[in-house]
Amino acid sequence: MKHYHLMGIGGISMSGLARILRKDGHTVSGCDSQLSDLTRALEREGIRVFQGHSPAHLEGVDVLVASTAIKDNEPELAAARTLGLPVWRRIQVVAEILRGGYSLGVTGSHGKTSTTSMLASIFIAAQTDPTVLLGAELGLIGGSAKVGQGPYRIAEVDESDPLFRFLELDVAVITNLEADHVSPDGQARPNYHASFGALQEAVRSFAGRARYVVYNGEPRWRLLDELTQGRPRSSFGLLQGHCHAARMALEPFGSHFELVWQGQTLGPVRLQVPGEHNIVNALAAAAAALVAGVPFEAIQQGLYQYTGASRRFEKVGELNGALIVDDYAHNATKLWALLRAAKNTGLRVRAVFQPHRYGRSEQEWPQYAQALEQADEALILDVYAAGETPLRLTSAQIAGRIVEHLRSSGRAAHYDSWDNIQSYLRQTAAPGDLILTIGAGSVYRLGRLLAAHKEAV
- One DSSP character per residue, 45-93 reads TT-EEEES--GGGGTT-SEEEE-TTS-TT-HHHHHHHHTT--EEEHHHH
369 membership: H or E segment, kind and range: helix 358-372
Could you give the CA distance from residue 147 to residue 416 in angstroms, rounded to a whole number?
44
Can you say whether the dihedral through the CA atoms of 24, 288, 135, 183 is positive or negative?
positive
Q: State how far the Cα of 316 lies from the Cα of 451, in Å rounded to an integer.
A: 7
Side chain identity at 2, as an amino acid letter? K
Distance between CA 279 and CA 281 in Å, rounded? 5
| Cβ atoms of residues 425 and 350 within 8 Å | yes
**Using CA atoms, how far apart are residues 1 and 188, in angstroms rounded to an integer?**
35
Give the single-character DSSP code of 384.
B
Three-state DSSP at 145 gives strand
- Residue 404 DSSP SS3: helix
Nearest to 230 by CA among 248, 253, 210, 202: 210
pLDDT truncated to tens, each residue of the chain (457 aa)? 899 999 999 887 888 899 899 988 999 999 998 899 889 999 999 999 999 999 999 999 999 998 777 788 899 999 999 999 999 988 899 998 999 999 999 999 999 999 999 999 999 999 999 999 998 889 999 888 898 999 999 999 988 888 899 999 999 999 999 887 787 777 766 677 888 898 999 999 999 999 999 999 999 999 999 999 999 999 999 999 999 999 999 999 999 999 999 999 999 999 999 999 999 999 999 999 999 999 999 999 999 999 998 889 999 999 999 999 999 998 899 999 999 999 999 999 999 999 999 988 998 999 999 999 999 999 999 999 988 889 899 999 999 999 999 999 999 999 999 999 999 999 999 999 999 999 999 999 999 999 997 543 3
Where on the phi/psi map is residue 80: left (φ > 0), alpha (ψ -120 to 50), or beta? alpha
Q: List the catalytic residues.
A: 112-113, 156
Prediction pTM value: 0.87
HEC string of 321-337? CEEEEEECCCCHHHHHH
Q: Edge-to-edge strands of the sheet including 254-261?
A: 143-146, 131-138, 152-156, 102-107, 171-174, 212-216, 233-236, 243-251, 254-261, 264-271
Cβ pair 56, 79 in contact under 8 A: no
